[in-house]
Amino acid sequence: MPPKKPFASKFAITLPAGGATPAPPVGPVIGQHGINIQEFVKRFNDGTMDHKANGYKIPCICYVFEDKSFELEFKQPPASDLIKKKINLPKGSGRPNTEKVGKITWAQLKEVAEAKMPDLNANDIEAAAWIMYGSAQQMGLEVPDAPAKKVKIA
């Protein structure tokens, strides 16, 4: 959620969970907004420590205020990372339409969708699972037990 008070600027950055350091690329990005780099590194690392064991990269939005204070908004790990972790896949396919690299069940996609739900623009888990289905297809995965998609005509 964006902060309640007005902010001067904002930026997005994706870093390894618990692994932010003042070195590039973090330092230059933070420095151009005039906020305390060490404070950013400490708050980012503290806020993402629970994902460090999984090796996720965590997207973060930083809202910078006029007085150079800031707030961090952490997002969920990327869908592709969650899907790879769910089925122990080292990497997706370089040619997803012709080269399939694995399979994932609809139930597993729904579990990934539940984890990713706070960041998705979906009304329910079923809709979120269809978003994850698209991500899985783009990674070269098959979903053999996917239900037939119901088309609503308004």
| CATH at 126 | 1.10.10.250
Same-domain pairing of 24 and 55: yes
- What's the pLDDT score for residue 73? 95
Give yes or no for residue 153 having a pLDDT over 80. Answer: no
Same-domain pairing of 97 and 69: no
Query: Residue 66 is encoded by which pair of tokens?
Result: 């006029």
Distance CA 67, CA 103 (A): 50
Burial class (CB in 10 A: 0-12, 13-18, 19+), 117: middle
- Write phi, then psi, for 118 (nearest 5 degrees): -60, -25
Which domain-ending residue is among 40, 59, 74?
74
Same-domain pairing of 70 and 83: no
Residues 74-103: pLDDT tens digits? 999 999 999 999 999 999 999 998 999 999
Nearest-CA neighbor of 71 among 34, 42, 38, 43?
43
Q: Rounded to two decimals, what is the model's pTM? A: 0.84
Domains contained in the chain, number: 2
Residues 105-122: pLDDT tens digits? 999 999 999 999 999 999
- What's the pLDDT score for residue 120? 94
- What's the pLDDT score for residue 54? 86
Nearest-CA neighbor of 76 among 50, 110, 99, 41?
50
The three-state secondary structure class of 33 is coil
Q: Which residue's entry shows tokens 């597993």?
A: 108
- What's the pLDDT score for residue 152? 66
1, part of any domain: no
Q: In this structure, are residues 64 and 73 in contact, taking their beta carbons and an 8 Å threshold?
A: no
DSSP one-letter string for 49-76:
GGGGGGT-EEEEEEEE-TTS-EEEEEPP
